[in-house]
Amino acid sequence: MQTMPIIQKRDDFPILQKVIYGKYPLVYLDNAATTQKPRQVVEAMTEEYYNVNANVHRGVHFLSQKATELHEASRETVRRFLNARSTSEIIFTRGTTESINLVASCFGQAFMKAGDEVIVSEMEHHSNIVSWQLMQERLGIRLRVVPITDDGRLVMDEYVKLFNERTRIVSITHVSNVLGTVNPVKDIVRIAHEHNVPVLIDGAQSSPHMKVDVQELGCDFYAFSGHKIYGPTGIGVLYGKEEWLDRIPPYMGGGEMIKNVSFERTTFNALPYKFEAGTPDYVATTGLAKALDYVNAIGLDAIEAHERDLTAYAMQRLMEVDGMHIYGPGIEEHDAVISFQVGNIHHLDMGTLLDRLGIAVRTGHHCAEPLMRRLGIEGTCRASFALYNTREEVDALVEGIRRVSQMF
């Protein structure tokens, strides 16, 4: 029942009408990598470039003030989307990767020294591993890793055991981009806070699929990317509690992030600008706000219900294929990402041949090499869903996999 209003939105996404290798319509199942953009987002950005464009925060003239209003209204839209207390807690970045690097670098500089520890997990994206390894190089900190079960869930008993007097921060993904696992982030935060340790949640794969309320989660930082939630590329968000953002140093130096500059001493701007050096991508923030409005108008509950239905259907249909192995937990804890392997067909061959049938899936290690190592594999094929995907597309995927299998 819930699928109808969402499926009708396909017309908002012109790219879904594309013919690829003579196949129509395109079956786009690479949404965990990036989502397609509705007209509303693209048109809002075009409109801004055509009619409003001017640099923000600096001009007294009409266009600059208009552009600034749009930019700051977008920040308020993001605040509401996450239910943050204040717009001071919403920092615009280039995406999840930059948001995590910002926290690792600035939190690291302020609060960590040699021997101090960050807790990450075995299912992290490289961005939430390498950012901390850079701090390992720079400061001598240590990464402690929460192991996962064979079916891709965090071993929470081991998580609890990792805390000690050197633990400074926990940095964990909300939803795995490979396994689709939805992690118990509320428990993760509660346990960390019992040890007075703050938590960064990587929300790259949760923000597009479920309602996120940062106050309810209680997390100290939350990162997400615009392009994974129907918004433009090159824009993302770091939410941070004011009490932490106030205490950590700026990330980059330049215009906008300063109050006064002299060669002797520079003072920094108030939040959130302290973390936003240089001209922001103010057109992309408009696009991001439009994307969030778009998602809100449909309702994240409806999107989640539709995608859960689709994922359950896909898991059931895929298992009908001979030699099918699906990674990750059962459907109750499984979000809209399905990684699979069919017999001994190489994931690259499977992905390439599916592409020839007009079906776009992801192949490879999905920027999670340590997870691949844990699973004892080099890579997987991954199908991931968005609000515009349909059961018919799942059927096309299953049929496509069957055809590819027959070739081997």
Minimum CB distance to ligand PLP smaller for 87 or for 96: 96
Size (the chain), residues: 408
DSSP 181: B
Q: Please, what is the angle between helix 300-318 and helix 391-407, to 10°?
A: 30
What's the closest the beta carbon of residue 205 comes to ligand PLP, in angstroms? 5
As a whole number of Å, the CA-based R_g of the chain is 22
Give 32-56 as a DSSP string: TT-----HHHHHHHHHHHHHT---S
Minimum CB distance to ligand PLP smaller for 33 or for 324: 33
Minimum CB distance to ligand PLP smaller for 88 or for 181: 181
Dist CA 323 CA 312 (whole Å) = 19
Dist CA 253 CA 1 (whole Å) = 51
Minimum CB distance to ligand PLP smaller for 57 or for 174: 174
Binding interface with ligand PLP (CB under 6 A): 32, 95-97, 125, 127, 173, 177, 202, 204-205, 225
What's the closest the beta carbon of residue 235 comes to ligand PLP, in angstroms? 10
What's the closest the beta carbon of residue 402 comes to ligand PLP, in angstroms? 28
**Distant-in-sequence, close-in-space partners of 262: CB < 8 Å, separation ≥ 6:** none
What's the closest the beta carbon of residue 360 comes to ligand PLP, in angstroms? 15
The residues assigned a catalytic role are 367
Tokens coding 214: 């940062």
What's the closest the beta carbon of residue 375 comes to ligand PLP, in angstroms? 16
Dist CA 58 CA 256 (whole Å) = 9
Dist CA 93 CA 192 (whole Å) = 26
What's the closest the beta carbon of residue 366 comes to ligand PLP, in angstroms? 7
Minimum CB distance to ligand PLP smaller for 74 or for 269: 74
**Distant-in-sequence, close-in-space partners of 114: CB < 8 Å, separation ≥ 6:** 139, 140, 141
Q: Within 13 Å and on the Cβ side, how many CA atoms surround 343?
A: 14
Minimum CB distance to ligand PLP smaller for 123 or for 350: 123
DSSP 201: E
How far from each other are the two terminal CA atoms of the chain, in whole angstroms? 39
